[in-house]
Chain A
Amino acid sequence: MTWSNLEYIADKLSSKLKEKVDEYLILVDESKKRMLKLANGEASVTQSWDNIEIGLYIARGNGKMLSIGLSTTSPEKAVGNIISLLDSMEPSPMYAPLPEASGEDYSLTDQAIIQYLEGTRELDLAGDLALSEIGNSAGMAEIRYSKIMLANSMGGFLRGEKTKFTGYIRVFKGDRSGQWSWTSPRYDGGKQAKLSIEKARDLAEECSRLPMGKIEPGEYRVLLSPMIAGNLVGELVRAANAGRIVYGMSFINPGMIGEKLFSSMLTIRDEPRNPELPGYTSFDDEGVSTKDKSVVEKGVLRTILHNSKTAKLMKTRTTGNAGIIMPRSFNLNVSPGDSPLSELLETLGNGLYLTNNWYTRYQNYSEGIFSTVSRDSVFLVKNGEFKACLNRVRVADKMINLFSNIEALGREVWPLEWWEIKPSAFIPHILVGKTGVSLPEI
């Protein structure tokens, strides 16, 4: 991948747009990616992608605006067609003038990853996953390299490039299982992958050694592993996204900034500048310089994530979290506590240790009423010790209740990303008192 290819696309589009629109922003993202997917302890498929994504925004100063998303190397015709429609648009209530491209170029890359994707170096992804040692397992490992170029009508021009090594593994022991993930901007020789495999295998083995238990629906003290905590923290941060608030699909509103909504133990930061996570970027999709900031600080809602458009709508300033139309977070980091897992289990006393989840859905977005289903190992804990393994249960509660009832956080944070955890995040264990737990009636 060369910069000249991206520059060629940006130049061609710029020259097409320059005389015809008042404002434009071009975002070109070229990426190469390879993914090894596993099932039943063997490869099910190995996939590669070589793609360019073009995001384009055009506007008149009177508020008429259009956006285009293209995955093609010949965007001129689509762009030509859309320019002619701009004047027939009505001014958008979301319009705000494009901000200055205040960000700077960045590069957070690992040569091993780049060379692997360019075919000049071998990496043993299969070896990293140590398939022969773990038996029945499923998961994936992905390696990615992307170059991002941004150009706007004010002469702003920014470039960024980054790499990523991410994946997850689910290990089965009979009908019990454990799952864990990892994510990093660098290839570390498979160290994180191996740690994840060990975590997943240990959970599956621990569960398989225990008798099956049964519980009644009700309120329980629960210890959330980083895998499930990461999913629920992601939900909380999405609720603090101005786009979701505008859509009416959030239990958070701008009037809550400064309010203590959650446990004082909870601090969640959006950290686009964290070089240990692959969502790293020094500029957002509007070219605005990104900054690390607390979304929740010691339980107090500090930030609603904005781009320039939602910011104008809510009479505030962009937080440097732009997607082209709606805001987004880049990397999340939950501040750890000081307890090792053994101490968290002791503090939990009697309750449940949930190790993974999926399918979080809301009955009422505005009130944050939701449920999510556990998967993999669920442990019944008595007096701080694992007593039984349980079938799948649900956490069914209100988001604000859940995050208000935090009693402790683990001291170890894990870099995670998978189907149910996006964006990439550092997450500790979270111990929550008095949480609604339900399960199907036969």
Chain B
Amino acid sequence: MSVESFDPDILGKLVHSAIREGASYAEARFHSLYGNRIGLMNGRVFTAGYEEQVGVAVRVIHGGGLGFASTDKLDQDSLYKAVSTALSNARISSSIQKHGIEMDESRLGSTRYSVYQKKPLESLSLTDKLAEVKERANAADLNMEGIQLKSFMLFYNELAERKIIVTSDGGYVEAEIPRAYVRHNLTASNGSENRNRYSVIAWTGGFEGLDEKNLTSSLEDDMRSLGIVLTKAKASPKGKMDVVLGPELAGIAVHESIGHPSEADRILGREAAQAGLSYWRDYKIGDRIGSNVATVIDDPTIPGAFGFYLYDDEAVPARPRYLLYKGLINEMLQNRETARLFGVKSNGAARARDFKSEPIVRMANTYFATGDYSFEELIEDVRQGIYIKKYMEWNIDDYRWGARYVGLEAYLVENGRLGDPVKDPVLEITSPSFYTSVDAAGRDLKLYPGFCGKGEPIQGVPVTMGGPHIRLREVIVK
């Protein structure tokens, strides 16, 4: 059966058949992802093509056990077989379960929505897109004095998502969310040292995003960063000092050290063997882990942001979540299973990457809330410190306690003024130390896209992370 002839009514029938077989909850999701992709090597198209994934996922609770089945075969027999497989799986789960799984009683959506596209992705041919991507990439002036570009790789990908979610307790959501992203890696050399800069621009919407995100200037800016590091940067100072972080680094920090730890399934241990646990297990709602300046929000409803959605994959309406509010732990990210265990309502954080994936607790667009400082005001009373504008290396332990961020483009700050560029400053810091050290946030806000990995099999879902410039007082730089 083709996608075009797929009858969404069957999803309701699948759900009913699971309930008839004794399931206490059932959900069926038709989920397709499709789009073009283009690869440029040193400005020339070296690969192009199309990707499409279409299928149905069925999830049931039976005897307190959770079962999931996924199939790309859309004929009736195969779909009903997926229901019986999901039921068998739930029975396997149930046989080794001490605590039964139940869903909370969240208000569910019965709705249909689609993201407006000024230039719909499907309205342009691959050939047209190829010409436009190439023109913008090759318009970038990547000549920098003192360095040589060794390799320039660029990939344009689309991820147009269509899904229909039906739950046995009345949820019905149809969504069309087109997304696209451009990744690039620049490698440059000063003759004795090579450096890379990898970055991504991405959006939710149509092809117009390519203009709005200004690919050409993004490439030029990254090449300029490499030029500064390779020709001018000196060794970074070490020791205790003030550090101003750009929105890119503020973004990865909130994603890793607030967003992930706030995931209720991680706190409960469901991802313990994969993405790990959370230091939030040792705290309770209302505990202070940061200064009054530190507010972190995760908001799926930001139009145009890469992690945008209005209803999650359990049909729960999305809303902004204030994870950290003025330094206090405020809210976890919840799906319907975890919400019931914590005695709250789901806040719409269940996401599945595709029809092969179960919905699990995920972030969407996570950012450090703005303050009221200009950039100049942030650095003007820094006597001795550094400003980290861009980074390359980062990681965090599986308890989300200790993180490491290594600056790429970074500068000295001396007596309130930006000084010379410095190389590879390392900020290796615990999560509470990070948030208690923040004493000021800028009024600018920028979101950076990425794919966040979690689950088994691992699911990479589109997200953004960002914030304003923020200032940390008296932290150790290595």
A positions within 8 Å CB-CB of B = 34-52, 65-74, 77-78, 81-82, 85, 88-90, 92-94, 125-126, 131, 137-140, 168-170, 172, 179, 217, 246-249, 325, 358-367, 369-375, 391-392, 394, 396, 419, 438-442
Contact = CB atoms under 8 A, between A and B. Distances in A.
Interface in B47-79: 47-55, 65-74, 78
B436 to A, nearest CB: 11
Interface string B449-478: 000000011100000000000000001101
27 contacts: A38-B96, A47-B67, A47-B69, A49-B69, A50-B69, A50-B85, A51-B55, A51-B72, A68-B50, A72-B54, A73-B73, A74-B1, A74-B2, A82-B126, A85-B125, A89-B45, A89-B127, A93-B46, A172-B272, A248-B187, A369-B393, A371-B406, A438-B428, A440-B401, A440-B402, A440-B433, A442-B433
B92 A373 contact: no
A92 B45 contact: yes
A342 B150 CA distance: 47
Interface string B121-165: 000011100100000000000000000001111000000000000
Contact of A85 (B55, B67, B126): B126
Contact of B98 (A42, A179, A359, A438): A42
Contacts of B153: 246-248
A371 B426 CA distance: 11
B55 A72 contact: yes
A381 to B, nearest CB: 21
A371 B393 contact: yes
Contacts of B125: 85, 88
Interface stretch (B10-18, B193-201, B372-380, B414-422): B193-201
A43 B93 contact: yes
Contact of B47 (A35, A43, A67, A249): A67
Nearest to A438: B428
A206 B412 CA distance: 46
B55 A247 contact: no
Given A47-B69, A72-B52, A74-B1, 5 more contacts: A42-B99, A65-B47, A70-B52, A74-B3, A92-B47
Contacts of B408: 363
A226 to B, nearest CB: 17
Given A48-B85, A442-B430, A71 B393 contact: no
B41 A246 contact: yes
A77 to B, nearest CB: 7
Nearest to A56: B49
A47 B68 contact: yes
A371 B393 CA distance: 8
Question: Chain A binding site: helix, strand, loop or mixed by DSSP?
Answer: strand
Contacts of B302: none
A39 B47 contact: no
Given A48-B85, A74-B1, A248-B153, A366 B194 contact: yes
A194 to B, nearest CB: 16
Interface of B: 1-3, 34, 39, 41-42, 44-55, 65-74, 78, 81-82, 85-86, 89-90, 92-99, 125-127, 130, 150-153, 185-187, 189, 193-196, 198, 268-274, 276, 356, 358, 392-399, 401-404, 406, 408, 424, 426, 428-430, 433, 456-458, 475-476, 478
A93 B44 CA distance: 7
Q: Which 3 A-B pairs have the closest CB atoms?
A: A248-B151, A248-B187, A366-B194
Contact of A50 (B67, B78, B276): B78
A360 B276 CA distance: 15
Contact of A39 (B82, B94, B187, B269): B269
A71 B44 contact: no
Contact of B398 (A67, A81, A375): A375
A126 B55 CA distance: 28
Nearest to B65: A43
A365 B271 CA distance: 29
Contacts of B152: 248
B119 to A, nearest CB: 18
Given A249-B185, A361-B395, A419-B274, A48 B72 contact: no
B35 to A, nearest CB: 11
B396 A126 contact: no
B196 A365 contact: yes
A44 B265 CA distance: 10
Given A39-B270, A70-B52, A249-B187, A48 B194 contact: no
